[in-house]
Amino acid sequence: MTTTIATGPEPTRPPEGQPGSGARDRHPLPTRSIFDRAILGRAAGEAFAKLDPRTLARNPVMFVVEVGAVLTTVLWVRDVLDAGSEPNTFAGLVTAWLWFTVLFANFAEAVAEGRGKAQAATLRRTRSETMARVRGADGTIEERPSTALVVGDECVVTAGEVIPGDGDVVEGIATVDESAITGESAPVIRESGGDRSAVTGGTRVLSDEIVVRITAEPGATFLDRMIALVEGSARQKTPNEIALSILLAGLTLIFLLAIVALQPFAIYSGDEQTLIVLVALLVCLIPTTIGGLLSAIGIAGMDRLVQRNVLAMSGRAVEAGGDCSTLLLDKTGTITFGNRRATGLHPAHGVDPARLREAALLSSLADETPEGRSIVELAGDDATRPGTTGADFVEFSASTRMSGIDLADRSIRKGASDAVARWLDQYEQRIPDEVVTTTSRISDDGGTPLVVVEDATVLGVVALTDVVKPGMRERFEELRALGIRTVMITGDNPRTAKAIAAEAGVDDFLAEATPEDKMALIREEQQGGNLVAMTGDGTNDAPALAQADVGVAMNTGTQAAKEAGNMVDLDSDPTKLIEIVQIGKQLLITRGALTTFSIANDVAKYFAIIPAMFIVAYPQLDELNVMGLDSPESAILSAVVFNALAIVALIPLALRGVHLQAATASEVLRRNLLIYGLGGLVTPFIGITLIDLVISTLGIV
C-alpha cells in the first residue's frame, strides 16, 4: 500500500483502544421485536394484499392452497344460496381455515419484511436534499443539488457540511460522523491516498476540509442500495431456496395427481367424495408448513445480518456463508487487537543505542502505518530529529516491505529481515548472526522484528508486539466443530505467524501474504471443493474479495473493495466474519429443520383423513383411526385446523432461527431427525386429537 505524508494540520487521531480507534462500542441499526404492534398491524394488512394471485404464484404450494380455498368458497356460497338446502357448516369451516392457512403464510412473510421496512424508513430519514459545492476544472465553485451530481464531480466539503454523495477523498483529511449510516457515535478519519478514503453520502464532516470525487450516480448510492436491501425489495431467491421450491412444487404436483386419481376409485367403491373433502385432503398432504414459511426464513436470515450491521448484497451471499468450509482471517485487527506497536530497540553489537534510535526514527517518517507511527513515538522520545531538507523519503509498500530515507550522504532502511537482506546484497553484506538471533527470539515470542540498516551497516532490531484477542481460541474451536477450517493471513514472517497461529488456535496460516498469494490460496481451496469466506478493506483486497464465495468488505475501506465484495460490514469489524458464517449456517439449519418437520407431520395426517374418507365403504379402516377421532367430518376439519395452526406456531422459530450448536453435519442431521422429524410425527397426533375433542364436545360439525 502506498501512503503519503500529510501536509498541513492533521485532525487529532484517537489513541488505540479509545473511541474513534476501531475498538469502539457498536450501535447497530435500530431493530424491532417480531411482536412489535406496529409491525404486526402492518403485516396483517399486507397478508391480505399478498392474496393477489400474481404475487402468490411465486409460491406454488400456497398458490394451490389459495386455488383450493377459492373453489371451496364457490361451492359453499352455492350451497348457501340454494334455498332448498341447509347451510353446510362443515364446508364453511373448511373454507375459512383454508383461507386462514394462506393468510398465516402471507403474515409470516410480511412480518419478516416488516422489520426490514421499519429499518429502511429510518435510513430514508437520514437522506435529505443536500446542496453540493462542485469545484470546476478552473478552480471555481458552483453550487448544485446533490441529485444533479454526476460521476467524476469533485465536491468541496468543509466542517459542518453533509457529504452530498458517495465518493473518494482526493484531497485533505477530516473527521467524519457516520452515525446516520452505521449507528456508530464516534467519528472516523477519512483521508486521501489510502485505504480509508471512501466516504458515504449523507454523512457529515466534523472538522477540516476535504475534496470528494463522486463515484455513484444519484439513486445508485450506497444508502439507496442499503434501503433496497434492508426492506427486501432487492432480495432474490438463493439457489438452494429455488431447488427446495422446485422440490415442494414437485411434491405438490404428485399429490395433486394422486388426489385426482383417487376419486374414480372412490366412485367405484360407492363412496364418492365431495370436492370439499378432496381439497382438504390435498391441502393437508402437500408440504404447506415449509411452503408457507420458506420465504420468511430467507428474509429473516438477511434481517439477522442487518441487526449486526452487515448488509448482504444478495441472499446467495448469506447462504454461501452457511456453506463455507474455509475462513481466511487477517491477523491484525481480527485475531489480534491490531494495535501492534514498537516496544523495544535492540542495538547490534558495538552500535550506539542513540544511533539506532535516530535511524529508526528517520526510516519511519515515511511509514504512515500504525506500526510506523508507533516507532516514531518510541524513538522520538529521546532522539533529536535531524534536518531532512532535500531528503528523499521511501514510503512503505507491501511489495518491498521496507521504508526509509535517502539523505545526501547516507541511506537508511527499516523493514522485514529478508527484505533488508536483499538490500544488503548490493553491498555484498549480510545480517550479523547476533542480529539474526535477536530476530528469531522476538519472532518466537510472537513479536515482529524489523531490522534497521544504514548503508551496509546493520544497526539493530525494532521489536513490534501484538496481542491475541481473548476468547479467539474458543471461537475457533467452535468453528472447527462445525467443520470449518480457519486460515490466518498475515504479512509477518513465517516464524512470527507460526507463534501467533499457535496461540490463537487457527488451523493454518499464510505468512508474508501478498494480494497474489491470497488469490492463489482462495483458488486452491475452491478447486478442492471448499467454499471460502474472507474480509478485506483495501483496493489490493478487491480481487480476492471478488474471487471468494463470501467477500466481506469493511465500510471504512475503499469503494473498490465494497464493489468487489458481496457483503459490507458497517462496523468495519473483521471478526464479524465468524458471526456471518454462523448466521448462514443457522439459516440453512432452520430451513432443513422446518422442512423435516413439515414432511414428517404429513404422515400423521394420513391416519386422520384417509380412514375418515373411506370408513363408510370400508369399515375395516377404523383400525387405522388410532387417534379415536369422533367422526369423518371432525377428523378432516381437525386436520385442516392443525395444518393452519402449525404455520402460526412456527413463525417465531422461522424468524429467530433454530439455535446453532457446534456440531458436525452428521450430528446436526441426527438432531434434526430426532427433534423435528420425530416431533413432526408425534405433534400432529396430539394436536389433531385435541382439536377433534374440542370440535366434538362443542358439536360444531
- Nearest-10 crossing angle of helices 665-672, 576-614: 30
Sign (positive/negative) of CA torsion 253, 255, 259, 261? positive
**Amino acid letter at 513?**
A
Please say whether the beta carbons of 70 and 102 come within 8 A.
Answer: no
Closest by Cα among 89, 113, 230, 163 to 636: 89
For 241, the grid coordinates are: 431456496
CA distance 326 to 548: 10
Please say whether the beta carbons of 26 and 183 come within 8 A.
Answer: yes
SS3 content of the chain, % helix, strand, coil (to 5): 50, 15, 30
314 annotated among ligand-binding-site residues: no
For 381, the grid coordinates are: 522520545
CA distance 155 to 502: 49
CA distance 174 to 164: 15
CA distance 87 to 283: 23
Please say whether the beta carbons of 646 and 290 come within 8 A.
Answer: no
58 annotated among ligand-binding-site residues: no
CA distance 154 to 175: 19
Q: Is 330 a catalytic residue?
A: yes
Provide the 8-state DSSP code for 471. Answer: T
Pairing of strands 508-510, 485-489: parallel
271 annotated among ligand-binding-site residues: no
153 annotated among ligand-binding-site residues: no
For 196, the grid coordinates are: 480509508
Q: Which one of 166, 224, 330, 630 is the catalytic residue? A: 330
215 annotated among ligand-binding-site residues: no
Q: Rounded to the nearest 5 degrees, what angle is found at the Cα of 289, between the Cα atoms of 287 and 294?
A: 95
Residue 96: CB partners within 8 Å, gap ≥ 6?
Answer: none
User: Which residues partner with 533 through β-bridges?
Assistant: 327, 550
444 annotated among ligand-binding-site residues: no
For 314, the grid coordinates are: 444478495
403 annotated among ligand-binding-site residues: yes
367 annotated among ligand-binding-site residues: yes
207 annotated among ligand-binding-site residues: no
User: Which residues partner with 189 through β-bridges?
Assistant: 175
541 annotated among ligand-binding-site residues: yes
396 annotated among ligand-binding-site residues: yes
Instruction: Name the H helices within 127-196.
Output: 179-182
Please say whether the beta carbons of 555 and 568 come within 8 A.
Answer: yes
Closest by Cα among 60, 55, 625, 611 to 287: 60
Q: Rounded to the nearest 5 degrees, what angle is found at the Cα of 554, between the Cα atoms of 550 and 559?
A: 100
Query: Catalytic positions, please?
Result: 330
Q: Where is the binding site for Mg(2+), in residues? A: 537, 541
Q: Where is the binding site for ATP, in residues? A: 367, 371, 396-403, 414
Q: Where is the binding site, in residues? A: 367, 371, 396-403, 414, 537, 541
